[in-house]
Amino acid sequence: MEQQDYLKKQIDQLGQVLAKIFSDLLGLKNSGQINAGLEITNQTLKSEIDFDIQELLDITTGDFVNTLKKQKNLTNDNLAKLAEILLLIADNGQTDNKKLYEKCLTIYEYLEKEENIYTLDRQWKIERIKNVL
């Protein structure tokens, strides 16, 4: 039981870290300084989930969600936060944005099937990404 509590606490902390990354990136985007936050984002992702953005992009699309869920214990909520981060980076003209969009789409489509909940925001993002690709 203590082991499960510890694991849940770690997963919750990861969710908070991902939310903070997104918030920081959004703030930097609004001030026109998003590029300044990319190195910090990379370092934070590397320390928290042991993947930086490039390593995330290198995971094959078919194994992407499974790898994150099985190896890194990401919850659906954490996956959604990660997709938001990747989408924000892709929308701001970073290299490999096609791959970033593909990873976002993979996560959003997985969540759409897994959660059996229709959300207008997620559906809009799926359609927008498909139009970009």
Three-state SS string over 109-127 comes to HHHHHHHCCCCHHHHHHHH
User: What's the one-letter identity of residue 121?
Assistant: D
The answer to which of 6-10, 35-39, 119-123 has the lowest mean pLDDT is: 6-10
Q: Where is average pLDDT lowest: 19-23, 45-49, 76-80, 84-88? A: 19-23
What total number of domains does the chain contain? Answer: 1
Strongest mean pLDDT among 11-20, 46-55, 114-123: 114-123
Give the residue among 18, 96, 101, 110 at the shortest CA–CA distance from 62: 110
Residue 112: give the domain boundaries.
2-132
Amino acid at 103: K
